[in-house]
Amino acid sequence: MSEEFETTASADPHRDAQATKERLLEAAVRLFAAKGFQGTSVRAVTQAAGTSVSAANYHFGSKEEMLGEAIRMRAEPLNRRRLEALEAVERTAGESATTVEDIVGAFVRPVFELRAAGSPDDAAYRGLAARLYLDTRESVAQIRREIFEPVNDRFCEALHGALPQASRSEIDLALQLAVAVLVHLLSSDASSLAMGAGMDAEELVSKLVAFAAAGICAVVAVDLSSESGESKGAPS
């Protein structure tokens, strides 16, 4: 079935084309999550979506573009909510320095808020996100940078404001380690382990925020309990 047929067989070609694109993206999320970027062909995605390779080429042009849009359609609401949460904690702090835990909370909590209000394909998307971070192929890394780096940079700036004695490279490393913990938690059975330990979702998120904030401070050798953020061992 060609894209031309799909978009002319109905009184509303635009709606049909959009429906085809959405089916392709849903299939791409499932297959990329299950088999990875390298292990998934465009033909396999089109077969799963019940459409044609020409339709995929029409809408995306390449497998890389298809992966990028599959990630982007779910990442944009998360990116937006993270930035809104960060702006909120910065407004609340006012003239005072925003704390590391507040910044980490603004980064972590939106993930779980969106997950609580999620759709049936959330598990597939979480698997895709995990694969995205593990795949070292440059084409995939470029997609990851384009979608997540601007927001990550904003959080790095906020962390640098809270930890001015740390270098930018230390902050970058610390945030990446925090992201790795978050990706692992979302893509594994860690949530089940938490529930088995008697934690509800809010307690799990609170512990994750505390853990990640302490880890960030450990990377930059800062005492989390210090209001001034003074480095351990630094002269007074």
Tens of pLDDT, residues 62-114: 999 999 998 898 889 999 999 999 999 999 988 777 999 999 999 999 988 88
- Beta carbons within 10 angstroms of residue 151's beta carbon: 17
Residue 229 pLDDT class (50, 70, 90 cuts): very low
In a domain, 118, yes or no: yes
113 lies in the same domain as 38: no
Nearest to 216 by CA among 154, 186, 172: 172
| Res. 4: pLDDT tops 70 | no
178: left (phi over 0), alpha (psi -120 to 50) or beta: alpha
24 lies in the same domain as 140: no
Residue 140: both structure tokens together: 């995939």
Residues 6+ apart with CB under 8 A from 195: 204
33 lies in the same domain as 83: no
> Among 59, 82, 103, where does a domain finish?
59
105 lies in the same domain as 186: yes
Domain count, the chain: 2
55 lies in the same domain as 82: no
> For residue range 212-227, what is the model confidence (pLDDT) as tens digits?
999 999 998 876 665 4
- Amino acid found at 213: A
99 lies in the same domain as 192: yes
Name the average pLDDT for the chain: 84
**Triad 210, 153, 223: Cα angle to 5°:** 35
